[in-house]
Structure 1
Amino acid sequence: MLSPRYVLGLDIGTDTIKIVCAENEHGKPRIRAARKEPSGGLRRGAIVDLPESSSALARAFSEVRKISKNSLKNVFVNIGTHQTKSQVSRGIVAVSRADAEIYEDDMERVVKASQSVGIQPNRTVVHNITREFIVDGVGDIMDPLGLSGSRLEVSSLIIDAFAPQIKNIVRIVELTGGRIGGVVADPIAGARAALSRKQKELGVVLVDIGAGTTSLSVYEEKKLLGIAVFPVGSGHVTNDIAVGLKIPVAAAEEIKREHGHAYATDVGSKEMVDIKMFSPESRGIIPKRFISEIIEARLAEVFELVNNELKSLGKAGGLAGGAVLVGGGARIPGITDLARQELKLSTQLGSTIPQEWAEGGEEAANCFEDPEFVNACGLVLYGAGESGWNKPSTSFFTWMNPKHMMRYFMP
């Protein structure tokens, strides 16, 4: 079967929709389009108004559709609601053959066995990520094919999400002319684009600060330890500014973008902001440090949630690769200093790591450098791998159809 010619990464956020479309050129994805459009009908990453969200997506699709009639036939879309959860699971099977050699069917059986966990009826498994295989008690095996042993075990991370939300996402994509290639959890897509193998080996947390949610993924020794999604994001920072300054939300967003700073001690006490420049009906000169204190308070709360998750994994302050911040909220000046203080980790602003097999000139350069496009780029890279681009087709892990919305190997 021929692999699809196009992969479209679709990041549907609370505030904006990001799209990256790539074409297969000799096994390499060439970026053909990168678009950002206002979103609608979502709250905290969840669809709450189907007509409004469909209309917003139709506008975003309109330009991409001009590339080719096939550009929307292989859409990899994110699921980013705070109901997305993860849990560790184990599977154990006896090796089936008399010679005790491990074959593909043994690996299939043990991976399926690891998915026999208690998933509520209204939830759907999105990923089943293999962290390691264990043969007769010997672990840290990534590929046991051909090894000898009597007992095969697997340690997996099961990521599941609220089933109605997945159905809603699939529905709006199909209503607007797209065809689903796969559904990917936000923390998985972001890590695919923004984290290097070295970072995953050393130990790293990726923190994606969106408008309505903040998500994280934690890696160490190349294994995904856990993911989490919190119902708070940079939009809450905007709301806090609006309440604190008694101005409209639109004006608060402008002030955040032009004068926002996440680390109040770095802001001079004599720096002032004329509120009337952003809200004509408002009056007064406000210290910029006061605005920064509002921003810092909310973001400190976000990082407290992140730190609590790291504590639950036993990794608070203990990741050699530090923290990587992405998403629209990561653009706020001073945020890396605040994160460094709150998380007790080295911190850097992240973006899509240049891929030696991804090309596309200015379009690719622009979206690769933008922390807000990390998830969309990650969805393209994930989709390209699932679609068989620049990837051997004879692998145990190719038997799983991406439309089943599962993933057996760590991205």
Structure 2
Amino acid sequence: METINIITGLDVGTTKIGCLIAEVSSSGEINIKGVGTAPSEGLRYGMVVDIEKTVRSIRKAVEAAEAMAGVAVDLVYAGIAGDHIRDINGRGVVAISGENHEVSADDVRRVIEAARAVALPMDREMIHILPQEFIVDQQRGIRDPVGMCGVRLEAEVHIVTGAVASAQNIYRCIEKAGYTTADLVLESLASSYSVLTDDAKEMGVILIDIGGGTSDIAMFYEGCLRLSRVVALGGRNVTNDIAIELRTPIEAAEKLKLAHGSAIHVDGDKEQLVEVPGMNDRSIRRVSRGLLIDIIQARMSEILTHTYEEIKNSDYLNLMTTGLVLTGGASLLPGTVEMAENIFNMPVKLGIPRGFTGMVAEAQRPQYATGVGLIMYAMQNKDDFEEGFSDNETGVFDNIVSRFKTFFKKATQLD
């Protein structure tokens, strides 16, 4: 009889909290049963600035998803972003200790442990340690070294770090809302599970998730994460610009952006008029749609230019055969794909979450890429899920150790 697990993904975003609840079968089929969202009122640029408001928003989103799915949840896989995220590439070297100089699983564990031995300030912690490749006696490109013969084993890993306080605050908010954090996952890494194919990751692809408060960047090559960055700019900045320039409330600015916005000019937009509500119940004014697009275009150009600046010096940039994939709510603005093509000078497409059944119409949107990806991440790291994380008081560092053990187990199974 097939086993069904319930997995919950919680996207703790700057403008919205999104929760997705899915049934996941032992054969790997994902059936999304519940989707819940709530306005995010306690975060700024991906970081918690008000604990109580964030707790209320999390509770509303999860309870809405629970009501739709008809289940109560405890464990959640949560996303983390913010401009405190940093990445480093580490390298470890050990002597092969196995009989007849044959690489063992213990050798793999030791070499990854050696690679993680980098000095971090007290206010920073490791969120992910992702093996990129193994090297046996200078033979590169090895993904599974177990069973190979040699004297020297090396590992190159991608290490994602974050501010201790930022991670602790997310854990605390989820706990105060009544739930337990099974794992904290870099949002761009989570999104990659739902919108990128294995072939794209192998051939080289850039993923940019433009959310409300941050734009999360991930660069993949030969199936591995090579670069991960976060830019503290997103769709909320566009909305704020509209509100300030047109002297209209934030809510009205968001509606204008969604109804009439574009990242690039279109024929006749300067002649079109749009209605703009005034502040403090002042009368409605009519302004050129072209003016609205001028405001949006300036900020979207800044967002995409800043993301390009983060990756332009990467050694992998010229190897991005697949091009660029945009996802996240702000990527839905008309003209964003075309603008990105001009800035990055490469093919660009919109990334839609795929690979699941159930509430496809609700969840198959760019703004749910992280939520769906968190579920897929949990499914592919199911050892952690099955063991559970019943004691959230163990804190951030113990959770990192638990994730690290999972990487050890998976290091011998890299495809």
Q: TM-score, normalised by structure 2?
A: 0.89
Answer with 274-283 or 102-111: which moved more.
274-283
Distance in structure 2 (CA, Å) of the matches to 1:191 and 1:101: 34
Q: Which residue is 2:163 aligned to? A: 162
Answer with 60-69 or 206-215: which moved more.
60-69
Contact 2:42–2:49 (Cα < 8 Å) also in 1: yes
Amino acid at match of 2:175: E
List aligned pairs for 1:2-401, cutoff 5 A.
5-27=5-27, 28-66=29-67, 71-264=72-265, 268-276=269-277, 281-316=282-317, 319-353=320-354, 355=355, 358-360=356-358, 363-367=359-363, 369-388=364-383
Give the C-alpha shift of residue 24 in structure 1. 3.2
Quickly say closer, same or farther: Cα 1:390–1:56, change in 2 above 3 A.
closer
1:245-282 CA-partner distances (Å, limit 9, x unpaired):
12222211111011000012556332221224999525
Q: Which runs of 5+ in 2 are unaligned?
A: 387-397
**SS of the residue 2:148 aligns to:** coil
**SS of the residue 1:5 aligns to:** strand
Distance in structure 1 (CA, Å) of the matches to 2:137 and 2:267: 56
Contact 1:183–1:405 (Cα < 8 Å) also in 2: no
Contact 1:261–1:267 (Cα < 8 Å) also in 2: no
Amino acid at match of 1:179: T
Amino acid at match of 2:357: E
Contact 1:29–1:389 (Cα < 8 Å) also in 2: no
1:147-203 CA-partner distances (Å, limit 9, x unpaired):
111000001000011111111111111112212211101111011111111111221
Distance in structure 2 (CA, Å) of the matches to 1:298 and 1:323: 20
Distance in structure 2 (CA, Å) of the matches to 1:103 and 1:198: 29
**SS of the residue 1:58 aligns to:** helix
Quickly say closer, same or farther: Cα 1:282–1:403, change in 2 above 3 A.
farther
Distance in structure 2 (CA, Å) of the matches to 1:272 and 1:278: 19
Distance in structure 1 (CA, Å) of the matches to 2:280 and 2:332: 23
Quickly say closer, same or farther: Cα 1:276–1:70, change in 2 above 3 A.
closer
1:48-102 CA-partner distances (Å, limit 9, x unpaired):
1111111111112223444789742321001111101111000000001240100
Amino acid at match of 1:338: M
Amino acid at match of 2:378: G
Quickly say closer, same or farther: Cα 1:317–1:95, change in 2 above 3 A.
closer
1:32-63 CA-partner distances (Å, limit 9, x unpaired):
21222211211111111111111111112223
Contact 1:125–1:405 (Cα < 8 Å) also in 2: no
Amino acid at match of 2:360: A
1:115-142 CA-partner distances (Å, limit 9, x unpaired):
0012111111110000001110011111
Quickly say closer, same or farther: Cα 1:279–1:222, change in 2 above 3 A.
farther
Contact 2:21–2:69 (Cα < 8 Å) also in 1: no
Quickly say closer, same or farther: Cα 1:403–1:72, change in 2 above 3 A.
farther
Distance in structure 2 (CA, Å) of the matches to 1:56 and 1:184: 19
Q: How many equivalent pairs are there?
A: 396
Quickly say closer, same or farther: Cα 1:169–1:245, change in 2 above 3 A.
same
